[in-house]
Chains A and B, each alone.
Chain A
Amino acid sequence: MNLSQDRTEICLKNIRMRFQMKSGDPINVFDGLDLEVYKGEFISFLGPSGCGKTTLLRLIADILQPTEGIVTVGGISAAEARKQHKYGIVFQKPVLYDWRTVAKNVALPMEMMKIPKKEQEEKVTEMLQLVNLEGYENSYPFELSGGMQQRVGIARALSLDSEILLMDEPFSALDEFTKMKLHEDLLRIWEATGKTIVFVTHNISEAVYLSDRVCVFTANPARLAGIVDIGLKRPRNEDMLISSSYLAYMGEIRHIFEAGYEKD
């Protein structure tokens, strides 16, 4: 019926999250947060450390459950979506298994789902091509640079062809040059696969450069301060980083941060 409903991939309704601290007092993250993520969009969660970005991503992944509120993913509950492998996840660290080769790491989710060996091998080849790691099939993670390891993590997250890709500050530990290269790769993959990407970052410039929409969070208390539509045309390129509209978006986001804190 409703057009915007059909477009919704992830829906968070009235989310409250309470963490019981060891010291005694519980802390509350989000105070009735509402958010919709649309099918096929590239959306970023942007905010300082401690504002709840990771928590939010884990709620979507059903790694955490909200104290209050409802999370649906692809029209079903987050728990059900996890069981149906609706998403792939990438962490800040590569989180690879040291004792597995690159190919075996990428194949891990397929092994878990008992996909036939032959199919796995084809998929691994395809994925390694996608992240520019052909020829490293039989290397071990510790033989690769940090950027290459992160690529393996991305290939692994993509290998099940889930509609959604969840990424928690995937590039924040990398140097600027590697990061720029991976930005290009990620956008290329996104455009080629039409996935919905939820991208967590604390880097304003990175969020603007990659995203269709940027959700701006403030910490203490953790809450969503505003959402900015990024109208930069696609495909994005590095020249845009000095365009006036790019700088205007950066300014707008900074403004939302400051306004968010002044309210307290």
Chain B
Amino acid sequence: MKRIDGRHLSLILWIVGFFLMWEFAAFLLDGVLHDPMAAKKLPYFHAVISETVLNADNILLQSALTALRAAEGFLIGALVGFLLALLMDLFGVVERMALPYLLASQMIPILGLAPIIFGLVKDLDMSRVTIAAYMTFFPVSLSLLSGFKSVDIEQRMLMRSYASSKFLYYRKLALPYSVPFLFNGLKIAAPMAMTASAFVDTLSTQNGIGSIIIVALYGGGTTGQFWPAVLAASLLGIVSYVLVILAERVVERFIPRAPKEAAGEAA
């Protein structure tokens, strides 16, 4: 119980600290350095908030657009990553053949890849989903594969002693054991999928939270929405991360893990 309270307290402190630092930096720029562009370079946090509230409808709508496509891509990418990890673990040949491609695929900067995909599919939503999936599958498949590979040798021998089928080996041992690894991959991937989807927004200036940013930067006009949009985009990443953690908690109720401090608490 004590630990939970401590965690909440530190979260509140963190938020308050963040707010104060922002306000202080904005004050330095505006009140101390008297920068004439201060309101554009770094507006006060409270100004950003009131701007956000003013444009809440549009910000929410555009965020949802970006986030939903990111979520679709995330789910597809997670599924692809899962299957890839399974295939690589099952067949050494697949691992040897696929791994160089996987690594190479992550060397292509998304900056270049996103326009290529957009040019190919010519559809903004499809591009968002594809790029988000592309960002997701890699961390998921590598994390899960490293889970599969770190299954204890004696745990495997036990399965062998039962003359276990491959299916039962994964179902009873490798998968439940690798759940924490899978979630580590998902935690890395979720904010990446959000960022990727928002990046695709910037390719066209039609819609999505990313398009607000790019229009505000280069298009003039709705400059006021730049900071609220940046704030919203960051929040999307954080929210996606938190959602994965919540999902992990739910799964842990069915597949519990040994607490790391169990040994210490028993003593």
Verify B163–A93 contact, CB threshold 8 A. no
- Among the listed stretches A84-92, A225-233, A236-244, which one makes contact with chain B, having 4 or more residues with CB under 8 Å of it? A84-92
Mark out the residues of chain A between 72 and 92 whose CB falls within 8 Å of any chain B CB in the assembled complex: 82-83, 85, 87-89, 91
Chain B residue with Cβ nearest A110: B162
Given contacts A99-B255, A99-B257, contact A63 B155 (CB under 8 A): no
Verify A95–B154 contact, CB threshold 8 A. yes
The interface residues of chain B lying within 8 Å CB-to-CB of A99 are 176-177, 179, 255-257
Mark out the residues of chain A between 27 and 64 whose CB falls within 8 Å of any chain B CB in the assembled complex: 58, 61-63
Given contacts A85-B162, A112-B168, A112-B172, contact A142 B155 (CB under 8 A): no
Contact of A142 among B152, B164, B176, B262 (CB under 8 A): B262
Shortest distance between the CB of B216 and any CB in chain A (Å): 49
Return the CB mask of B232-261 against A: 1 if under 8 Å, else 0: 000000000000000000000001111100
Complex: A112 Cα to B172 Cα, angstroms: 9
Chain B residue with Cβ nearest A91: B154
B158 within 8 A of A: yes
Verify B172–A111 contact, CB threshold 8 A. yes
Complex: A141 Cα to B155 Cα, angstroms: 14
Shortest distance between the CB of A190 and any CB in chain B (Å): 20
Given contacts A98-B258, A142-B258, contact A87 B173 (CB under 8 A): no
Give the interface residue-count category, chain A.
20 to 34
Complex: A91 Cα to B258 Cα, angstroms: 20
Given contacts A95-B154, A112-B172, A142-B262, contact A87 B161 (CB under 8 A): yes
Shortest distance between the CB of A79 and any CB in chain B (Å): 9
Shortest distance between the CB of B67 and any CB in chain A (Å): 32
The interface residues of chain A lying within 8 Å CB-to-CB of B162 are 85, 108-109, 112-113
A97 within 8 A of B: yes
Shortest distance between the CB of B140 and any CB in chain A (Å): 20
The winner among B155, B158, B163, B258 for most chain A CB atoms within 10 A is B158
Q: How many residues of B contact A (CB 8 A)?
A: 22
Verify B164–A140 contact, CB threshold 8 A. no
Complex: A126 Cα to B154 Cα, angstroms: 26
Verify A140–B256 contact, CB threshold 8 A. yes
B122 within 8 A of A: no
Verify A98–B256 contact, CB threshold 8 A. yes
Complex: A142 Cα to B265 Cα, angstroms: 11
Contact of B158 among A62, A83, A89, A141 (CB under 8 A): A89
Given contacts A95-B152, A109-B162, contact A63 B258 (CB under 8 A): no
Shortest distance between the CB of A142 and any CB in chain B (Å): 4
Verify B163–A85 contact, CB threshold 8 A. yes
Verify B256–A63 contact, CB threshold 8 A. no
The interface residues of chain A lying within 8 Å CB-to-CB of B179 are 99
Verify B155–A95 contact, CB threshold 8 A. yes
B157 within 8 A of A: yes
Chain A residue with Cβ nearest B252: A99
B149 within 8 A of A: no
User: Besides A63-B157, A112-B172, 14 other CB < 8 A contacts?
Assistant: A61-B157, A82-B160, A82-B163, A85-B162, A87-B161, A91-B157, A97-B155, A97-B176, A99-B255, A111-B172, A112-B162, A112-B164, A140-B256, A141-B258
Return the 9 tightest CB-CB contacts between A and B, nearest first: A142-B258, A98-B258, A112-B162, A83-B163, A142-B262, A99-B255, A95-B154, A89-B161, A99-B176
Chain A contact residues, CB within 8 Å of chain B: 58, 61-63, 82-83, 85, 87-89, 91, 93, 95, 97-99, 108-109, 111-113, 140-143
Chain B contact residues, CB within 8 Å of chain A: 152, 154-155, 157-158, 160-164, 168, 172-173, 176-177, 179, 255-259, 262
